[in-house]
Every structure is written in structure tokens, then in C-alpha cells.
Structure 1
Amino acid sequence: MRFFSLIIATINRVEPLEHLLISLINQSFKDFDVIIVDQNLDNRLDPVLVKFNLLNITHLKSEKGLSKARNLGILNSKSNFVVYPDDDCWYEPDLLLQIYKQITENNLDGITCVARDENKNLTLIPFINYECFVTKNKVWLQAISFTIFVKRYDDIIFDEDLGLGTNTKYIACEETDYLLKILKEKHAKIKFSPSLFVYHPKPLLEEVPTWKIYGYSLAIGLMHKRYEYSIYKKVKLILRPFSGMILMCLIFKPGKAKFYWYSVKGRLIGMLS
């Protein structure tokens, strides 16, 4: 049994996946295996994976759906802890060693960390800047799927109605739902460590299509309903993007104003669904 299983759901990416696998070859900590859940319809990954026979790789094929792919990975994992790298992220050589030490030395059920771009700037969400335990109220600023290193629970999996590739409109928050279930049902002790990080490319706001913004926001609203967040939290959830929309209108940036409008609309409908 390995300590970590790195479950990588992948589709339509070859070179970024190869970059990730190179970073895994270079890890100083070696007690892990890699489960590639391949959602490509062809065999494009075969010539890539044969280059990495030094890694303990299991190559699985899956239908489309990020949560479905990760659940297939969990089903095939025998490790103590599971990790969910995106197929375009990459690691510093000592990351897994540092995560291992923190988990074992502090008897933790998991670690989350931050995301940084190639210039080491924080990216994707405004992570909080101090070490603390992951909680229901803070989880939104403590984790993204690929920054989660958590104990494997056979009875807790991803909601397949959430995440990219689902047949629903809720195309995000599968990892938040997953963490919240672990916190609620297992009373897990998971620490957020902002000194640790995973590299991930920084997306440009203007490149995110409106349908994706809306789907993300629907899922955020749904999570606030499902986990019974306070009225204060729900109102704050709506007011923040609404304020951003007004500001962008005042400074004549309609593109960014539209981003905030779809955030307001999606969050509100998600909470009322």
C-alpha cells in the first residue's frame, strides 16, 4: 500500500500532462502511485505514458465527467491518502515530502495548500494567508481540487452531478462538496498550509466563457443551500459580485461587468434551486 495515490483525470491535454509527470518523477518522496483516468476517445496518451515507466502508473479509461473520473480513481486506489492533480498543474520536487511530514508529524487527516502560477503569484482564488484548520466557513479560501491531499474514505466520493462534464448545469464545487462531506461525516482534522503550493497556469478573466461563469456560480449557490450556510453568508455571497458589477459599469468595463452579472444570477438561482 502506497501513502499517496495521485488521481489525474485528463482529457484533451498531452504536453501539460507530460510536464506534470516529469515533476512527479522528480519528487524526493517516492511512496506514491499515479492513477491516470483517461477520458480521451483515442489513444493519444499511450506514447506519453510509456516514457514514465519509473512511475507506478495505472491507466484507466473513463467516460466524460470530472467527478466520474475521480470516483473511478478512488475505487482503484489502495493508498492511505488521495490527491487530485489537474492535468495541467505541476509540483516542486519536495512537495509530497513536505505534505507527508506535516500529515504524519501532526496526525492529520489531510492538508490543503495554495495555487501559484509560473511566477509564483497566487492564482484562481484569494487564498487566506495564515495557517489554520479547514472549516465550513473558510473552505472557499482554503482549497481547490488540485491542492487537496486527504485521507481516502471508501464511503465518501465525489457527487457526479457536480463538476465539469456533468449532465447538470452545476459544473463546479465538486471538491468543496467532497471536503464538506469529509468534515461533516468524519470530523476530519485537515490543515490549510499557505506556505505550500501547487503550480497551475493562471487563466485570464476575459477568456472564461459566460456559460462557465454561470455554471460555477450555480454550484456555489447550491453548496450554500445544501450545507445550510447562514443568511449572513448567503447575502454576502450575492453582494460581493453585485458590487463588482456596479463598479465595472461605473468605470466602463462592460466585459468584466458581465462576468459579475452572471456570478450574481447563478449564485442566487443556485441557492433557490
Structure 2
Amino acid sequence: MSDAAVSHSSDLSMVVATLGRTGELDRLFRSLEAQTAPGFEVLVVDQNDDDRLVGLIAEWSGRLPLRHLRTPGERGLSRARNRGWPEARGAVLLFPDDDCWYPDTFVADALALMATHGSDVLAGRAAKPTGESINGRYEAAACRSTRRNVWTTGIEWVMLFRREVLEVVGGYSEDVGVGAATPWQASEGIDIVLRADATGFRCWFDPALAGHHEEVVPAAPDARARRKARAYGRGMGHVLRKFGYGPATKLNWVARPGVGAALSLLSGRSAKAAYRIQVAIGRLEGITGRLLD
């Protein structure tokens, strides 16, 4: 598809799907207020059934180019994003998590890197404010994101898309992602990048682009964390199955947390072992399309 560069003057729309959070959303807004590059808008897709965001939105409306789209009764991250991006005005779309935040130069860096790579899709990584990567494995150098390496070239809330990409591939798959009415509760970003790559769009990953988030894996995972790990594992396994990955690739992604669980047990970390076992089981369930419970 098009290799035309994205300039700093391009309009950027951030579509933020949110449910149940306020303090985290305020933190995101503070990070957006601090951006060194202007020229973006923020569209909040509010799935809350109550008015918890009314005061927060009113407070920030004079400080950010903010719009509020209420969709009470609707659920699902991918569904909310699909409600939001057609309403957005920007030529480039970003979909922040409601509990992430960004460094001050994120917008400027993202648009500059899109221009450098001539990309239709640009992905980065999750990192601590000190720079260390978290919540995934990432390639060490900038590279084209393809079917072969898509699992290590990005994370959902650090992915920018030209509007044309979303129009051509039809947006997010609403049966994948957090809150979907299916067991497949993750990997919606991988799903859309795989479709974009298959369609011929130029997808790039650059580790120089990073956003911030709390670490997903706690030091001592509890039952809630284990349930979440299994649900996320199911999403990954489903996408592996949906896009016809071979047996070796599927086995690798199931075996990795399985081996990790064994190593955790040997080192006396039973809680971490239980967490990793749930990741492995979830991926297996997604790959087979059958739930074990």
C-alpha cells in the first residue's frame, strides 16, 4: 500500500475505550497534556452505565481537545474502538488503554518514526519510565512487522494506524479482546496487524517508541491474576488458530510458559508456576477452540 510519509502536521486521533476507571484515565490525560507536539484530539468511548466520568471530562475539556462518546450497555474493547475510530477526525489513529500513559515526546516521536519508516502501521513497546521493556518480548531493533515476528513487534496501545488501514481491513475483530462476548480476551492488536500485513500494508515496529503501563504480571499472582492470564492466553491461541499458524509455532507458544512453570516450581515460586500454567492452558484452549472447563 501507500509508502507516503506522515508529517508532524498530520492530525492524530486517540480513541480511548474505558470502563470502570477514573484515576487511571486522569493519569493518561495528564501525560497527553504534557505532549510536546500539538495537533491531536482525544475521543473517549465511555462504556460505563453511570456518570462517573462526567466530572473528569468536564475538568479536562478545557485543557485537551477532548470529545466524549457515551455507549452505556455496550461491552468489549474492540467494539468500543470500532465505535470510536469512524467518529474520529485524524488521518492517523492511536488506541490508548485507559490505564496507560505516555512520555512527553511520544506523539512527536511516533509521527517522526512513521515518516522515517514510511509505514501504514507503526508499533512500539511497553516500558517502565526508566526504559526497561515490560509486559512482553520485543525485537531489539526496528524491523518490518510480519506474520513471522508479529508476536514480538508491538503491543496494542502503542500501535498507530493510518485511517486507510482501518477502512480497508474493517477495523478491529469484535470477537477478540478484553470484554468480548467470547473466551478470546486478548491479541486484538496482533489480529488487526496480521490482517493489515496480509492486505499489503507496510507495518513496522521500532523499539525507540515506548509507552508506559503497570506491569501485568504481579510478583505473587493471585486467583484473579491467574484467571486473567488464562483468558489472555485463550485470545493468543485463538489468533494462532485463526491465522493458520503451523504446529511448531503453536507448540512453541504453549511450551514456553509450560517450561517457565517448571522452572518456577524448581525455584520454589509456586504462585508464579501456577500463573504460567494458566497461560499455557489458555493458549492450548485457544489453539484447539475448546475450553477445558
For residue 76 of structure 1, report the CA deviation from its aligned partner: 0.9
For residue 266 of structure 1, report the CA deviation from its aligned partner: 1.7
Match of residue 157 from structure 1: 171
Secondary structure, counterpart of 2:205 in structure 1: strand
* Equivalent runs, 1:97-176 vs 2, <5 Å: 97-152=108-163, 153-155=166-168, 156-176=170-190
Whichever residue aligns with residue 45 of structure 1, its letter is: L
The two structures, once aligned, show a CA RMSD in angstroms of 1.8
* Equivalent runs, 1:205-244 vs 2, <5 Å: 206-207=221-222, 209-244=225-260
Secondary structure, counterpart of 1:154 in structure 2: helix
Whichever residue aligns with residue 162 of structure 1, its letter is: V
TM-score, with structure 2 as normaliser: 0.87
Match of residue 199 from structure 1: 212
Secondary structure, counterpart of 2:167 in structure 1: coil
Task: Answer yes or no: is the 8 Å Cα contact 1:221–1:271 preserved in 2.
Answer: yes
Alpha-carbon distance in 1 for matches of 2:117, 2:10: 19
Q: Does 1:50 align with 2:64?
A: no
For residue 11 of structure 1, report the CA deviation from its aligned partner: 1.5
Alpha-carbon distance in 2 for matches of 1:60, 1:88: 18
Alpha-carbon distance in 1 for matches of 2:270, 2:28: 37
TM-score, with structure 1 as normaliser: 0.93
Whichever residue aligns with residue 171 of structure 1, its letter is: Q
Match of residue 69 from structure 2: 60
Q: Does 1:32 align with 2:40?
A: yes
Task: Answer yes or no: is the 8 Å Cα contact 2:193–2:203 preserved in 1.
Answer: no
Whichever residue aligns with residue 139 of structure 2, its letter is: I
Secondary structure, counterpart of 2:17 in structure 1: strand
For residue 263 of structure 1, report the CA deviation from its aligned partner: 1.9
Whichever residue aligns with residue 193 of structure 1, its letter is: D
For residue 75 of structure 1, report the CA deviation from its aligned partner: 2.1
Alpha-carbon distance in 2 for matches of 1:270, 1:146: 22
User: Unaligned 5+ residue runs, structure 1?
Assistant: none
For residue 2 of structure 1, report the CA deviation from its aligned partner: 5.8
Whichever residue aligns with residue 93 of structure 1, its letter is: D
Larger deviation, residues 206-215 vs 132-141 = 206-215
Aligned pair count reads 272
Match of residue 189 from structure 1: 202
Q: Does 1:70 align with 2:84?
A: no
Whichever residue aligns with residue 223 of structure 1, its letter is: V
For residue 66 of structure 1, report the CA deviation from its aligned partner: 0.8
Secondary structure, counterpart of 1:55 in structure 2: coil
Q: After the TM superposition, which segments of 4 or more aligned residues of structure 1 sit over 6 Å from their partners?
A: none
For residue 158 of structure 1, report the CA deviation from its aligned partner: 1.2
For residue 105 of structure 1, report the CA deviation from its aligned partner: 4.0
Task: Answer yes or no: is the 8 Å Cα contact 1:74–1:154 preserved in 2.
Answer: no
Deviation by residue 1:60-103 (Cα, 9 ceiling, x = unmatched): 11222111111101121232111011112112222111111222
Match of residue 91 from structure 2: 80
For residue 36 of structure 1, report the CA deviation from its aligned partner: 0.2
